[in-house]
Structure 1
Amino acid sequence: MSLSDADHELVVAELGREPTTAEAALFENLWSEHCAYRSSRPLLSAFDSESPDVVVGPGDDAAVVAVSDDTYVTLGIESHNHPSYVDPYDGAATGVGGIVRDTLSMGAYPIALADSLYFGDFSEEHSRYLFEGVVEGIADYGNAIGVPTVTGSVDFHSDYEGNPLVNVACVGLLPAERLVTAEAQNAENKLVLVGNGTGRDGLGGASFASEDLAEDAETEDRPAVQVGDPYTEKLLIEANEDLVDAGLVQSARDLGAAGLGGASSELVAKGGFGAEIDLDAVHQREPNMNAMEILLAESQERMCYEVRPEDVEAVEEIAEKYDLGCSVIGEVAEGNYVCTFDGEVAVDVPAEYLADGAPMNDLDAVDPDQPERDLPRVDLSEAFEAVVGSPTTASKRWVYRQYDHEVGLRTAVKPGDDAAVMAIREAEKGLAFSSGANPKWTSAAPYDGARAVALENAINLAAKGATPLAAVDCLNGGNPEKPEVYGGFKGIVDGLADMCRDLSTPVVGGNVSLYNDSVTGPIPPTPTLAVVGTKDGYDAPPAAFSGEGTLLLVGTGGGALGGSEYLAHAGGSDKFPELPKNPAEVVAELAAVANDETTLAVHDVSHGGLAVSLAEMVTENAGADVTVDGALSLFDETPGRAVVETTDPERVRETFDGAAPVLELGEATDDGTLSLSVGEEQLVYTAEEIRVMRDVIARELD
């Protein structure tokens, strides 16, 4: 770790002296791209983050949104990309642990997780190794702490080979009166560290996450990866419940990036205070740690609480009850952020300057070129089987069956559908939850592809009868110092922001992960969006055919195949499809149709187009007889559309009148066969044949 020359000059000018070793390391980590968003913060003002339902917006550990006057949910997302390349199991597991603790710090109980994962070509052995390790890490950690993983996405793309992405979102639940924030409240309140002992794991994790991955990263950067202990995390979850219930927490911060130094300095700076911290008081699990190591180690399962002096003993008793370490490490103070170690001052700096003083980068951006149409001729059956059987569009059952997605007894709609639905019985609401992105879309057209990602997530909610409430984003990009990379990153920021604004969906928080670049090149610009929405009750139409209704396609096709799975198979190029001009209206009307008693099934059309949607809806007992006018109609991936099975087609047409066209596709059948008339060609597949096509992941890994 080393502070850059330019930053060193700024720090010396502010302090009026040379920084100590610990101070230099603190500034290097807290001013890193990972913590300070130096390249991305100038762009993030594009997002609208307010609505009458938003209680806490960007800037805290997690956002807080009201689902009723008395019931709030928290929403947060983070990346653990570099650690998951170096050590896929621990990197992914500790990503889950970190986002869960962000939820705890708001006074909430975690009720649902979503994982959006991106890897290199599935055919590559190294990609499969990373994939298996990441899924195992998420499953083992989430299952052990009792938080269900209920939704998400998995994509495979050659440009992730040297740098996979692991983005994890978490939803928490809390009564309004339990809300806690990460803003220190009063000087002389004590700072109490609760949880695991501090070790040397994860040292420099924030700076490590702000650099391109080197060729030898899997060996050289292993010390920067944290090691998780889910059983301690479970104890911490329950202890946090007791602490908040008893009113003992004035403010809280999870120890994540930059460890104790990051959490404590940010907590006091947010309240306009400093701190006096005794690093010798920190409970440790390794001997002879120095001040820098104690401050910057990213050992897991630790929380920093602000506690009134008279409440410290009660906090210690709760920590002892759950067999957790507990240290009174100092107090909130007026003046500077001061840390002492071994009788000497190791850190004495302005807290606000440390936490928020990093200068922003002014970078050049180059907009990517848009492709021309060049569509090759491909055998229709070959194309259908390749698209439906692509690892990206294929069944992810192998993934989500490793997760305990029903623990907590709130999962009303389970993984494998367009969106999960959680039962918020406290408010008599269903909370729909969707997360994901499509790197093929954003590679083809960063701005329009990101708009499509936002619309698709909203349509996922609407297919279950919910309308969007709020979103968080995880903005992943390559090295921003490359103008073409920064241009693509700027495109995904603006695209997400514009579509979320059109959908009246506030983006209430998120995470930025840049420098996802390796010897194999930069990743595609990847704007993972996690969206929650609400509906009355918890019931929702399935995504599978019932075999008894008329099939309708609602929504407007974009007339192009840019970014499609079809072109990934067939080659060629095309412009990105045009999106509907009234997306909020389309989402609202689809939610209304999904909640109608005459609706038997709803499934969105997006990745892989109508071909994949229909294949996913077929079961052993229900199929379809469908007619479309050509291959473009079958493989167009324009989001904002859905297949609806209904007993009252006219009612659907009336609902969408003036909002979007409604095309009759055919009829559902009870024979478990998909019969497709595509122009002059006919395709027929049984449910078993489709299952075999779609089980490519399980077939290769089991």
Structure 2
Amino acid sequence: MTVHNDTVAAAQAAPEQAQPYAELGLKDDEYARIKEILGRRPTDAELTVYSVMWSEHCSYKSSKVHLRYFGETTTPEMAEKILAGIGENAGVVDIGGGDAVTFRVESHNHPSFVEPYQGAATGIGGIVRDIMAMGARPIAVMDQLRFGPADAPDTSRVLPGVVHGIGGYGNSLGLPNIGGETVFDESYAGNPLVNALCVGTLKVEDLKLAFASGTGNKVMLFGSRTGLDGIGGVSVLGSASFEEGEERKLPAVQVGDPFAEKVLIECCLELYQAGVVVGIQDLGGGGLACATSELAAAGDGGMRVNLDNVPLRAENMSAAEILASESQERMCAVVTPENVGKFLEICAKWEVTVAEIGEVTDEKDRYLVYHNGEVVIDAPASTIDEGPVYERPFARPQWQDEIQATPEVSRPSEPAEIKQALFDMVSSPALCSRDFITEQFDRYVRGNTIKAKYSDAGVLRINEETNRGVAISADASGRYAKLDPSTGARLALAEAYRNVAVTGARPVAVTNCLNFGSPENTDVMWQFREAVHGLADGAKEMGIPVSGGNVSFYNQTGDEPILPTPVVGVLGVIEDVHQAIGHDLGSVDEAEKLILLGTTRDEFGGSIWQQISGGGLQGMPPQIDLADEMKLADFFIGNTELTAAHDLSEGGLAQAVIEMAIRADRGVELDLDKVNEDQFTALFSESASRVLVATTADKVEAVLAHAAELGVPAAEIGSTTEQTELKFGEVSVQVAELREAWQNTLPELFGHAVGANAVVE
């Protein structure tokens, strides 16, 4: 190939030529810094690559100064089982016996508002490829969804499309969806959150990392062809605020093909098994620009890339378009020359398009890209990959004291009022059944799902010979975090940890997806910093490492940011999945006794009761002592005396009891005096570190003694009955009536939507 330097030379010869750097998301000083690095103005391709890689989504330029705190608070003991951590495509945890598990959660928020189906579908596709890039087989997905008010017109556009996209892509891949969360709040009306989690499994020795090493090694691009879809996704959509009308940014939304990804998964796994991959990187946000520059920056040499060899599905694509395209279902591998033949053979077997697009060079850090016989990029790879670092100003908001003031809480006290409150709560969009959503997802494909629907955490069998498994949960409360970001993050950690623990699994690692407004807002940066410190300090206190995460900024409509929403995922290990605890009552013929673990306080700040009763958002979130959560975990691990367990969180004791009664179609009689002297507080308080457990009469004393031994407050508060009604004091409610109220809300709101009634089981 004859190489001309005309493109770079032209940039050098016309230093004052105007360039659209602002439209690409670069600030004046960032553009000036790029020219300083290169010693000239950038070519169009260079400008594109820098704008993509220096975007908030790719560079973490506003968050990295605070994210370092995770490393500072991770002790050697915590990090011992982490095989790959922060900075990699996904965290990888050694779970024993030669098995490892990788998991990560990532945002696809703005694309899912613009085009709900494809935005959510490609969010699933992207997180699955992150897991593939670690050398793992993806085995399950989860989702964390947040929308505007359930009855808002635009929510009826966004929610059905998002749910259909998640199901359409995940079901087609053959991956079970083992859990999630759906939240409605005004702050998400113009900026929904679609956070996708994937978990994968691999043997410890099969771990793969993203780096380009070995002079002369070849860079192989394989998977779907490169087109014009998704161009500008991370810089246009992922790194800027939304204004009215932004839903028209359709070209920036990627288009997914789950069947192509399914084949790509199997192809990757065979490539790994054949031992022909030195380094691997998925193509997601930032496309080929991101994948190749990151591989080069992480390696021990430089890289030469020839865009003329990239398989295209559109004619006359420019170098900038080829590099920035976020076409889905693509991977990039580094392969030794002697293994290229085998690599091509395996790709041909799976009918996966493949091309050799470059090679590793001995010019350390030099990133050279050619197109049409010309050098279009000649830049230091490290300067592309690292990006700027901002120490943005932050300050505690002036309004923080005002919203933390003690709230006036409406407190029904008469039996008829309490009964109405039960129906108002259970039928509210905040607490109603999610069957309308989850019935669109396949939960049991692959045959290793142990717990999913109606489970506090998803439980999967990892090893079919030993029955070792994992439990995964992800949680967040933007309402708690708005009142106190540090406590809100700790409460999210505590709830995810507790959800994993009540299955009988031992929590071992944390991941996160931190969703916030604009980092240029000092209030938002204070919220972000507080949440990071709360989560990091909490993880250290509990002795479980943060294995990785994701930051999503600019989640706001105009100047109004979303509720600060730090989503926290926890992974736990269970030695025998047959011992996993569920929350299904009625597993025995006799009546079951109900025991409440933990202390119930008068805590309603940020609660669901406050939200649905018109109390706004005010007060302090529940207190949290993470030592109590650790005691609860010790209580459940290896515990064979329980018939069921359900954590208490949103909606308090009332919601937990109602869900258990509906699921089993059993009656429950409660003695609320043993919970709290105030009946209303006993029912609806959202105090943390509480779990409702069931056992048989002959094991009550043993359960109470075990709790006392661990220092866990415990009280027998009721039992199941043959009459299918919920009874306490003077209140009696038929379980069938509660079920009807619980089930009907979402179908009545969204049942008209196209594809909404698709059931996959």
Measured against the shorter chain, the TM-score band is over 0.9
Matched, 1:298 2:332: no
Aligned residues of 1:492 and 1:526 also touching (Cα < 8 A): no
Q: Write out per-residue CA displacement over residues 368-404 of structure 1, whole angstroms, 9 at most, x where no aligned residue.
A: 3322232224432232212221212111111111111
Matched, 1:19 2:42: yes
More moved, 141-150 vs 626-635: 626-635
Matched, 1:541 2:575: no
Q: Match for residue 244 of structure 2? A: 215
Q: Write out per-residue CA displacement over residues 335-357 of structure 1, whole angstroms, 9 at most, x where no aligned residue.
A: 31010111111101101111013
More moved, 435-444 vs 62-71: 435-444
Q: Match for residue 531 of structure 1? A: 570
Aligned residues of 1:504 and 1:584 also touching (Cα < 8 A): no
**Unpaired segments ≥5 residues, structure 1:** none
CA distance in 2, matches of 1:637, 1:442: 15
Task: Report the alpha carbon displacement of residue 283 of structure 1 after superposing the two structures with TM.
Answer: 0.5
1:700 to 744, 749, 752: 749
Aligned residues of 2:668 and 2:721 also touching (Cα < 8 A): yes
For residues 219-368 of structure 1, the aligned pairs below 5 Å read 219=248, 221-335=249-363, 336-367=366-397, 368=400
Q: Partner letter of residue 672 of structure 1?
A: T
Q: Match for residue 409 of structure 2? A: 375
For residues 22-37 of structure 1, the aligned pairs below 5 Å read 22-37=45-60
Q: Match for residue 586 of structure 1? A: 631
2:670 to 617, 621, 626: 626
CA distance in 2, matches of 1:266, 1:334: 16
Aligned residues of 2:84 and 2:93 also touching (Cα < 8 A): yes
Q: Partner letter of residue 63 of structure 2?
A: S
Q: Match for residue 675 of structure 1? A: 727
Matched, 1:179 2:207: yes
Aligned residues of 2:470 and 2:574 also touching (Cα < 8 A): yes
For residues 355-504 of structure 1, the aligned pairs below 5 Å read 355-367=385-397, 368-369=400-401, 370-378=404-412, 379-426=417-464, 427-504=466-543
Q: Write out per-residue CA displacement over residues 401-431 of structure 1, whole angstroms, 9 at most, x where no aligned residue.
A: 1111111111011222101110112553121
Task: Report the alpha carbon displacement of residue 213 of structure 1 after superposing the two structures with TM.
Answer: 1.1
Q: Match for residue 686 of structure 2? A: 637
Q: Match for residue 118 of structure 1? A: 146
Q: Partner letter of residue 210 of structure 1?
A: S
| SS, match of residue 697 in structure 1 | helix
CA distance in 2, matches of 1:558, 1:129: 40
Q: Partner letter of residue 258 of structure 1?
A: G
Q: Match for residue 64 of structure 1? A: 92
Task: Report the alpha carbon displacement of residue 558 of structure 1 after superposing the two structures with TM.
Answer: 4.1
CA distance in 1, matches of 2:595, 2:235: 52
Q: Match for residue 33 of structure 2? A: 10
Matched, 1:142 2:170: yes
Q: Write out per-residue CA displacement over residues 664-695 of structure 1, whole angstroms, 9 at most, x where no aligned residue.
A: 21112232221123xxxx32222211111211
| SS, match of residue 460 in structure 1 | helix
Aligned residues of 2:107 and 2:123 also touching (Cα < 8 A): yes
Aligned residues of 2:541 and 2:626 also touching (Cα < 8 A): no
| SS, match of residue 568 in structure 1 | helix
Task: Report the alpha carbon displacement of residue 581 of structure 1 after superposing the two structures with TM.
Answer: 5.1
Q: Write out per-residue CA displacement over residues 160-209 of structure 1, whole angstroms, 9 at most, x where no aligned residue.
A: 00000000111101112221111222121100000010001111111121
2:707 to 656, 664, 682: 656
Q: Write out per-residue CA displacement over residues 33-55 of structure 1, whole angstroms, 9 at most, x where no aligned residue.
A: 11111111111123245422111
CA distance in 1, matches of 2:391, 2:354: 39
| SS, match of residue 79 in structure 2 | coil
Number of positions where the alignment pairs a residue of Structure 1 with one of Structure 2: 695
Q: Write out per-residue CA displacement over residues 490-524 of structure 1, whole angstroms, 9 at most, x where no aligned residue.
A: 22222222222222121101100000011372110
Q: Partner letter of residue 579 of structure 1?
A: I
Aligned residues of 2:498 and 2:629 also touching (Cα < 8 A): no
Q: Write out per-residue CA displacement over residues 412-466 of structure 1, whole angstroms, 9 at most, x where no aligned residue.
A: 1122210111011255312111112122222222221211111011110111111
CA distance in 2, matches of 1:98, 1:333: 29
| SS, match of residue 618 in structure 1 | helix
Aligned residues of 2:264 and 2:329 also touching (Cα < 8 A): yes
CA distance in 1, matches of 2:266, 2:622: 48
Change (3 A) 1:236 1:163: same
Task: Report the alpha carbon displacement of residue 67 of structure 1 after superposing the two structures with TM.
Answer: 1.0
Q: Partner letter of residue 355 of structure 2?
A: S
CA distance in 2, matches of 1:553, 1:486: 39
Q: Match for residue 86 of structure 1? A: 114
Aligned residues of 2:242 and 2:557 also touching (Cα < 8 A): yes
Aligned residues of 2:147 and 2:193 also touching (Cα < 8 A): yes
CA distance in 1, matches of 2:91, 2:258: 24
Aligned residues of 1:589 and 1:656 also touching (Cα < 8 A): no
**Unpaired segments ≥5 residues, structure 2:** 1-22, 752-761
CA distance in 1, matches of 2:691, 2:629: 15
CA distance in 2, matches of 1:133, 1:693: 25
CA distance in 2, matches of 1:520, 1:667: 51
Q: Partner letter of residue 458 of structure 1?
A: Y
| SS, match of residue 116 in structure 1 | strand
Aligned residues of 2:173 and 2:258 also touching (Cα < 8 A): yes
Matched, 1:569 2:612: yes
CA distance in 2, matches of 1:521, 1:318: 51
1:108 to 131, 136, 153: 136
Q: Match for residue 610 of structure 1? A: 653
More moved, 319-328 vs 361-370: 361-370
Structure 1: which 4+ aligned runs deviate by more than 4 Å?
none
CA distance in 2, matches of 1:12, 1:688: 69
CA distance in 2, matches of 1:69, 1:484: 47
Q: Partner letter of residue 218 of structure 1?
A: E
CA distance in 2, matches of 1:20, 1:283: 23
| SS, match of residue 230 in structure 2 | coil
Aligned residues of 1:396 and 1:416 also touching (Cα < 8 A): no
Q: Match for residue 162 of structure 1? A: 190
| SS, match of residue 599 in structure 1 | coil
CA distance in 1, matches of 2:69, 2:722: 49
CA distance in 1, matches of 2:342, 2:172: 27
2:226 to 189, 198, 204: 198
CA distance in 2, matches of 1:520, 1:121: 19
Q: Write out per-residue CA displacement over residues 633-680 of structure 1, whole angstroms, 9 at most, x where no aligned residue.
A: 211112211001112222222222252211221112232221123xxx
| SS, match of residue 355 in structure 2 | strand
Aligned residues of 1:583 and 1:640 also touching (Cα < 8 A): yes
CA distance in 2, matches of 1:199, 1:363: 40
More moved, 570-579 vs 441-450: 570-579
More moved, 683-692 vs 239-248: 683-692
CA distance in 1, matches of 2:205, 2:639: 35
Give TM-score, length-normalised by structure 1: 0.96
Q: Match for residue 734 of structure 2? A: 686
Aligned residues of 2:494 and 2:626 also touching (Cα < 8 A): no
Q: Partner letter of residue 610 of structure 1?
A: L
Task: Report the alpha carbon displacement of residue 216 of structure 1 after superposing the two structures with TM.
Answer: 1.4
CA distance in 1, matches of 2:123, 2:626: 37
Q: Partner letter of residue 316 of structure 1?
A: L
| SS, match of residue 88 in structure 2 | coil
Aligned residues of 1:162 and 1:519 also touching (Cα < 8 A): no
Aligned residues of 2:509 and 2:571 also touching (Cα < 8 A): yes
Q: Write out per-residue CA displacement over residues 569-626 of structure 1, whole angstroms, 9 at most, x where no aligned residue.
A: 223343222113513532323323xx43321110000011111111101045422101
